[in-house]
Amino acid sequence: MNNIIEYFGDRLVKPALSEEVLKILPKISLTNQKILLEVGLPERHDGYAGVYTILDQLSLHKSKYIKLYTRELLEDYFSIFLDVESDRIIYHFDYEGSEKQYLLLNSSLLVFLEFWKAYEIFSEKIDLLGMKEYYGNKKIYSTELRSEFEKINKDDTNTSWWGSLLEEMESGPL
């Protein structure tokens, strides 16, 4: 966990917890409790599928999800949750004309933060290389990012979220 604290540093904030969240907090893992209560969460994530900002106060959704982040400008439609029952990180989207979907991001909050860190470091590298270099060698770079994710947690590399990112990098859209 120290590498997360060192990397995110002053970008970590300790959000307020609603009464509902405080009541169910004992149900989540000690590691997730420590992150929420002592370490904090990064205030903002500019990455795959938009910019996500932490809520001022974490709230309970459908009695089983702690709502952590929402997508800027589309707060009502896209959210990132901590599933109280499984400790997994879930991506939720709900907009008119779509089926409400809950997609697995990561198996835990700590793994989510480690993937986030790896993705940011990778993105900074691509920014330095330039888009021409990236687009000419996307397969190489997607393989590199996949390898970084697999070092953290091989199973989580193929979730709906991260697997889609890597697939889009390999096939062309990203």
Q: pLDDT digit of tens for each residue in the chain (174 aa)?
A: 999 999 999 999 999 999 999 999 999 999 999 999 999 999 998 876 778 889 999 999 999 999 999 887 665 668 899 999 999 999 887 766 566 678 888 999 999 999 999 999 998 998 888 878 887 888 888 899 999 999 999 999 888 778 888 888 888 655
pLDDT at res. 39: 97
pLDDT at res. 170: 82
pLDDT at res. 78: 84
Predicted model pTM = 0.89
The answer to whether the beta carbons of residues 75 and 15 sit under 8 Å apart is no
| 3-state class (DSSP) for residue 158 | helix
Q: Where are the domains of the chain?
A: 2-108, 113-171
pLDDT at res. 41: 97
Residue with tokens 């947690």: 153
d(CA 63, CA 121): 35
pLDDT at res. 77: 63
* Nearest partner of 102 among 45, 154, 61, 145, judged by Cα: 61
pLDDT at res. 58: 96
pLDDT at res. 172: 66
The tokens for 68 are: 């952590």
Long-range contacts: 154-157, Cβ < 8 Å, 24+? 155/107, 156/105, 156/106, 156/107, 156/111, 156/115
The tokens for 22 are: 């405080």
pLDDT at res. 32: 96
How many CB atoms within 10 Å of residue 81?
Answer: 22
